[in-house]
Amino acid sequence: MPSPDVYWLALRRAHGVGPRTCKLLIEKFGTPEKIFQLNADQIAAAGVPRNTSRNIAEFRDFEPLEKELCELPNIGARLVKWTDADYPPNLRQIADPPPFLFVRGAAPLGDPNCIAIVGARAASDIGRRMAQRLGLELAAKGFTVVSGLARGIDGEAHQGALDAHGKTIAVLGCGVDVIYPAEHRKLADAILAGGGALVSELPIGTPPLAENFPTRNRILSGLCLGVVIVEAAEKSGSLITARMALEQDRQVFAVPGSPLSGKTRGSNRLLKEGAKLVECVEDVIEELAPQMAKPLATERPAPQQAAQRVPTPATSEISNVRAEVRQPAELAEGAKTLEVVADNATTILNNLKESERLHVDSIIESSGLNAQTVLRLLLELELEGRVTQHPGKLFSLA
C-alpha cells in the first residue's frame, strides 16, 4: 500500500492532470488517497474529462514515486501539500495552485508578506544596484523577498535580502536539487544558510528546461502581495510574471528606465499600462499597506553568524536612515534616538581617513556596530558626499 504522500505525486503525474484538475478533485474529495479509491465514472462525475479520469483510475506506477519521496531527506527537502497548514496562503488563492511544493530550507512558507523582485538577466549596473537596494530594504522591513535565482536582477534581489539578514525564497524552474545557473550555487547555499528556501513544483532531478519557466512564474507571483519589475525588455519573461500577477489580482510595480535603453522598454510599457512607479521602497510599502496580513518589523536583527559574512558593496544597497530620522519610533531595535544615529555615523567617520582605504569588515570590527547598521550608515554618508567607496569594498573619507 503506497504511503499517503505518494498519492499526491501520483495525482499530478497521471496523464492529463494539471494544477486546476488537482484543485478541483481535492476540493471535491478531500485527499488524493480518496481519489485513487474511485473508479473512472466517479472521477468524471466531478467534471474531469473521461480520458483523464480513466488515467487516474488506472494509475499504478507508485514505486518510483515512493523512491522519490525517500530521496527528499537526503537532499534536505520536504513536501508541502496544498492541505498542509504551512502551504503558502497567498498561493492557495490562485486559480491553478500547485498541489504540492518541494521545499529545501527552513523558511516557513506561511508568511503572507512576500514581495517578488524580478527582471532582466543581462541587467545594467544601475538595475542591479536598484534590485539589491529594494531587496535589502524590503527584507529589513520584514518582508520575505521572492525571486527566481536567475542571473542579473533576480540574483541581486536575493543578495540584497541576505545582506539585511532577512528571508528570501527562490522559486526554481527545475528540481530543488538542481541549481541553475550553476554560478549561483554559492548564492543558493547562502539562501539556505540564512533561513530561506528553494521551492519548486517539479520532480527532483528535473533539468532547467525552457518550457518550465513560464509556469514557474505563476508560483513566483502567486506567493506574493505584489511583483516589482526592475528591468524588462519588450519580450522579457518578467512581463509574463507581471501578466500572471495581474491575473492573480496582485499589485504590479515597475522601476522606470531610460527610454533609450532596450533593457527597460518592457518595464516602461508596464508603467504606461498602469503599473505603480517605484523609485524607493516606500513606494511599494505604501501601496501594499492595506493588504498586509500582519505588522512588519522595522529592521531585522543580525544573526549571530553575521560577522562571518562578507557584505557586498554598500553602493548596491539603500539606506533608510533618513526615514528613520523622520520617524524615530521606527529606528532599529526600537529604542535608538537621533543622537545615537549621529554618534554611530561619527564613529564610522572617525575610523576613516582621506589617504587610507579601509575594508568594510575592518570598519565593522573597529566600530563595534553590527554589519547591517554599518552598511546602512556608509551608504547614507556616501549619498551625503562624506564617504567614497572604492573597488573591493574599500572606503575612505571623500
Task: Compute the distance between CA of residue 6 and CA of residue 69 in angstroms, rounded to an integer.
Answer: 7
How distant is the alpha carbon of residue 177 from its chain centre? 18
> What average pLDDT does range 185-189 have in this prediction?
96
Sign of CA pseudo-dihedral 64, 70, 74, 79? positive
Q: For the segment 82-112, what is each residue's pLDDT rounded down to a tens digit? A: 999 999 999 999 999 999 999 999 888 988 9
User: Which residues, in sequence order, are CB contacts of 265 under 8 Å at separation 6+?
Assistant: 232, 233, 234, 259
| pLDDT class of 301 with cuts at 50, 70, 90 | very low
| SS3 annotation, 19-79 | HHHHHHHHHHHCCHHHHCCCCHHHHHCCCCCHHHHHHHHCCCCCHHHHHHHHHHHHHCEEE
Q: For the segment 206-242, what is each residue's pLDDT rounded down to a tens digit? A: 999 988 888 999 999 999 999 999 998 887 888 989 9
In the chain, domain spans? 1-61, 114-291, 309-397
Fold: same for 1-61 and 114-291: no
8 A C-beta contact, residue 135 and residue 221 = no
Of 181 and 351, the structure prediction assigns the larger pLDDT to 181
**What's 300's DSSP letter?**
P
Task: Compute the distance between CA of residue 316 and CA of residue 159 in angstroms, rounded to an integer.
Answer: 10
- We find that the CATH architecture of domain 1-61 is Orthogonal Bundle (1.10)
- Residue range 114-291 forms a domain whose CATH class is alpha beta
Q: What are the backbone angles phi and psi of residue 397, rounded to the nearest 5°?
A: -65, 145
Q: Which contiguous run of DSSP H or E holds residue 169?
A: strand 168-171
Task: Compute the distance between CA of residue 266 and CA of residue 128 in angstroms, rounded to an integer.
Answer: 17
Q: How much is the pTM? A: 0.74
Of 30 and 292, the structure prediction assigns the larger pLDDT to 30
| pLDDT class of 149 with cuts at 50, 70, 90 | very high
| pLDDT class of 353 with cuts at 50, 70, 90 | low
- We find that the CATH architecture of domain 309-397 is Orthogonal Bundle (1.10)
Q: 335 pLDDT exceeds 80?
A: no
